[in-house]
Amino acid sequence: MALFTKYQKGHRVIGFNTSKDGIKWNEWKVLGHIDMGHYQISGENNGKISVAFNYHPDPKGLNWRTNLYYLETTDFGESWHTASGEEVQLPLTKPINPALVQHFQHDSLNCYMKDLNFDEKGQPIVMVLSSKGYESGPKNNPRKWELFHFNEGKWDNHVITTSDNNYDMGSIYIEPHGIWRLIAPTGQGPQAYNPGGEVALWLSNNNGETWEKKKQLTLNSERNHTYVRRPVNVSSEFYGIWADGHGRQPSKSNLYFCDKDGNVFLLPETMKKSAVKPEPYNIPDL
């Protein structure tokens, strides 16, 4: 299954294709087409494919995005259900529908999609960033990293921390015995209020209810770090990967990765051999 967004005449239409061999693909099917469309994120767990998405309200325009929706399928898109098992008819066309998880629009908040993962029971966990508006700068603070966890038949909502830009991006890690981690640029970087910042590792020991910053992974950087991604079938030695870059002018961009404990390594800018060891990254002095 391939899940993606199509840009169609000022709309963002989300849907999916399926294939038996990855070469020949079935007809594209629409998941949602509410007002001006959506952005979606997705995940897979033991054959269950899950999607979470927001929507662009008309006539506010594509800069605005709000609400949080969730759907899942266990039969490769033949049928789609809410987290509680209610079957829905596609495509979704109304803002108020059974897939609605959080009515951010009621509180005049934007919703930016970040990550989707699953707890030990296979129940979905959706991470978003909420803010007061699309413009950069301090006036739309606080921008909150929010978790929505489907737990015992309902969606629990917890706030991890805050950020200074809507496009700060990180990943959520679910480990045994209620240990959850967030690796993300939650600290203000050298280009304040631009995408990215300084990367930190946050930890929860109670299934995401409360959080503590355990380690600062980058600090005193020349450029903002952002877009921390969780590798598929993540290894403790290769736990997250991201890049840096100047938020306001053309610049070079380095690649970094970290292990589970938050030790950071810098990938070489040039390689003269087929294999080169990455360099340990140490936080620069002021």
Q: What is the pTM of this model?
A: 0.96
Please determine, for residue 286, whether its predicted confidence score (pLDDT) is greater than 80.
no
Is 285 a residue whose pLDDT tops 80? no
**Mean pLDDT for the stretch of residues 237-263:** 97
Over the stretch 50-59, which tens digit does the pLDDT of each residue have? Answer: 999 999 999 8
Q: Is residue 179 part of a domain?
A: yes
C-alpha dist (Å) from residue 203 to 47, 161, 185, 261: 28, 11, 14, 11
Q: Which domain holds residue 230?
A: 2-280
144: CB partners within 8 A, 6+ apart: 129, 130, 131, 159, 160, 161, 162
In the structure, how many helices (H) and strands (E) does the chain have? Answer: 0, 22
Flag whether 15 is in a domain: yes
Please say if the pLDDT value at position 189 is more than 90: yes
CATH number at 215 reads 2.120.10
Surface-to-core class of residue 201, CB atoms within 10 Å of its CB (0-12 exposed, 13-18 middle, 19+ buried): buried
Residue 285 within any structural domain of the chain: no
3-state secondary structure of 4: strand
pLDDT at 283: 84
Q: Using the 8-state DSSP alphabet, how is residue 129 labeled?
A: E
Tally of domains in the chain: 1
pLDDT digits (tens, 9 = 90+) for 199-241: 999 999 999 999 999 999 999 999 999 999 999 989 999 999 9
pLDDT tops 80 at residue 12: yes
Q: Provide mean pLDDT across the span 104-111.
A: 97
Q: Within 10 Å of residue 95's Cβ, how many Cβ atoms?
A: 16
Considering the domain boundaries, does residue 208 fall inside one? yes
Binning pLDDT at 50, 70 and 90, where does residue 101 land? very high
Q: How far apart are alpha carbons 72 and 130 in whole angstroms?
A: 23
Let me know: does 139 contact 132? Beta carbons within 8 Å: yes
Whether 126 maps to a domain, the answer reads: yes
On whether residue 286 sits in a domain, the answer given is no
